[in-house]
Structure 1
């Protein structure tokens, strides 16, 4: 089966001070791979492959590298060691409200955001009313985005991104937001995308959601991949470790 995501020997490090990642000066100077004072490895020596059409859940406590891994797969971060190969475009259901422009209207933001993700103008026009209806914002199309409630912003963002035709979905806790009615709509939409053969890479603390959508799991602890196994086995190991702490 074709690999959708291939990760080999992946490592990324950060600074503990306000500068965050290494500076450009460090990079161009060929800084040592060994950690310097004030640096730590958020991920180290992580390897796995995700098959096309597979649904993978990533688990671990806060600060163990889950969201960092998601951002590396999305191409937002670059690794310090190893490689990340993504075979196909991604629909990033992460930081949902990021990238929207406050002074632009809902209508303008839909067109801008979908366009930036590569959706052709003709396709945006065809899907526009479906996106607005899913977000339940028919009466707010000409309202500036900054005047929407947080719930409205999340509904709009999920609606737009979930309409992308990309074969790989990257999801980070998005289902933890919104009311139950909207979450049920999100569940149904993700079920549709999985039935259509999309690949799911899902970071979450919600065991119910992980068991519902995923067949396989990755358990991260202290930046290392502790277990790669069926999702039930991974969750049992994670829960057992959590009780033992």
Structure 2
């Protein structure tokens, strides 16, 4: 247990006390989840069906069956760039700042991106770290997606995914400026990046599923990070969807 006497310790007080649940709660009917169910509704215009982004959003769904097939290297590059690639530079008050493809509070970019891959054309299977500034990969170790099945609560459908993206947070990058509110910003950013991966996967005709349930210590150990100043937050598995 951590004492909450400074921003990182308060962050960890919550972070390490939010493990995966030991069981599953009874499902709540959708009708009981509505906010203000008795209020009158002002109807809005119908959404145009020919909007490109709308079509992508409607095609996005969670996939839990992946084919054992190969993914082109360019697809991996596009997925990583969509998540956190550099979109340009901007000058503010005489200083140059990066722009990236997902928003970040204060432009601090606390999220690091790891990707465990297999059957990617021209790339050895294993775990890599993505470096946006060079749009390239650092080799980490030989861990492939199936090595994460047990840490990800036995979600064995990721075994044939071509890529398992793991977003991690370097807490003090945000906490030093925003104090404990920075932890929320870090989680927001992980969500932004995950959604970008999902939408690019739809564009590429690939299946995808977001995964937030895992044993923190096990995943952090595979990544080689300490789990306190730098910890795993969120995962997305991507591959070719098996036809139903």
Q: Normalising by structure 1, what TM-score?
A: 0.25
Greater helix share, structure number: 1
Q: What is the TM-score when the length of structure 2 is the normalising length?
A: 0.25
Which structure has more relative contact order (CA 8 Å, sep 6+)? It is 1
